[in-house]
Amino acid sequence: MNTIDITAILASASCMVAPKPVLKWAGGKRSLAGEVMSRVPAEFGWYHEPFFGGGAVYFELLRTGRVTADRAVLSDALPRLIETYEAIRTDPSGAMASFGRLARVHTKEHYLAVRDAHNRSDCATEARVDRAARFLSLNRTCYNGLHRVNSRGGFNVPFGDFKGSPTLDEPNLLAVAETLRGAQLSCQDFEEALERTEESDFVYLDPPYDRCFVQYTAAGFSRVDQHRLADAVRRIHERGVRFVLSNASTAFVRSLYAGFAIETVSAPRAISSNGKARASVEEYLVS
């Protein structure tokens, strides 16, 4: 398909489809998007999201007209995640075709082979769309959309035993590509991302929660990082930047954000011990 055809398809898709997350994401905020949206200021400058993940809040802001892509700064510390979004943005048809080839087989053995290839892939010699397609395939077929790595940075989430073959919503993928084309997208630490904010901007922060799972990247996300984040949030607040932050409803989190508005909300649990029963849990929204 040539460039003119892709441009026409993207333009058509962006008019017809309200983009929604293209990735399943453990801890994603689709279920809490309404709660977050009710706390977004009526007017603001640029929108920043330093823990982009599945991007549920960003896509909801787009859908409701609260933000435009050309005023959005999206980042995450996970290189493979940002690389996948960059591949979707620049070559959605290539990513879709490569994903389709992987999706023809859906077995545990195939999953483990794809996971092994993902962990061995060489950025210098392999096409980015192929690496992105593997990331999308693993995301669709791993246990509960979880992203976890070992100390060497190797993806180690087990196979998700579900029926059927993994699929992608092509019109949505094209609409997502169009919205990402307008946004600023980068792989960076949250402190660096927050330094870019200015007075009247709005930031949504969804860090790894203060719970047992911290191995989102090889470096993890410890309580030292939680302290570092709270300090960075206080600095942007002093500059007149408005924010909403999600985190676990723990005494530690409450102590970190003493002095801010801390509200308790109920959210469906993304990951359960048996993979089936997902009870609601309490979380904090700090603003």
Instruction: Determine what percent of the chain is predicted with pLDDT higher than 70.
Output: 85
The answer on pLDDT for 259 being more than 80 is yes
For residue 163 the two structure tokens come to 């029926």
**Least reliable range by pLDDT among 28-42, 43-57, 71-85, 88-102:** 28-42
**Least reliable range by pLDDT among 61-65, 72-76, 237-241:** 61-65
| pLDDT per position as a tens digit, 21-34 | 999 887 667 678 88
- Per-position DSSP letters for the chain, written without gaps between them: --HHHHHHHHHHHHHH-----SS--TT-STTTHHHHHTTS-SS-S-EEESS-TT-HHHHHHHHTTS--GGGEEEEES-HHHHHHHHHHHH-HHHHHHHHHHHTT--SHHHHHHHHHHHHH--TTTS-HHHHHHHHHHHHHHBGGG---B-TT--B-PPB---SS-----HHHHHHHHHHHHHSEEEE--HHHHHHT--TT-EEEE-PPPSSS---SSTT---HHHHHHHHHHHHHHHHTT-EEEEEEE--HHHHHHTTTS-EEEEEEE-S--SSSS---EEEEEEE-
pLDDT category, 18, cuts 50, 70, 90? confident
Average of per-residue pLDDT values in the chain: 87
pLDDT category, 75, cuts 50, 70, 90? very high
| pLDDT per position as a tens digit, 100-152 | 999 999 899 999 999 999 999 877 778 999 999 999 999 999 988 888 888 88
Average pLDDT of the segment spanning 253-261: 97
Better-scored residue on pLDDT, 28 or 58? 58
Spans of all domains in the chain: 3-286
- Report angle CA 153, 87, 5 to the nearest 5 degrees: 165
Type of residue found at 256 = L
Better-scored residue on pLDDT, 3 or 235? 235
Alpha-carbon gap, residue 180 to 119, rounded angstroms: 26
The answer on pLDDT for 7 being more than 50 is no
pLDDT category, 183, cuts 50, 70, 90? very high
Predicted pLDDT at 151: 82
CATH number of 3-286: 3.40.50.150
Predicted pLDDT at 270: 52
Alpha-carbon gap, residue 60 to 31, rounded angstroms: 11
The answer on pLDDT for 6 being more than 80 is no
Predicted pLDDT at 184: 97
Predicted pLDDT at 278: 56
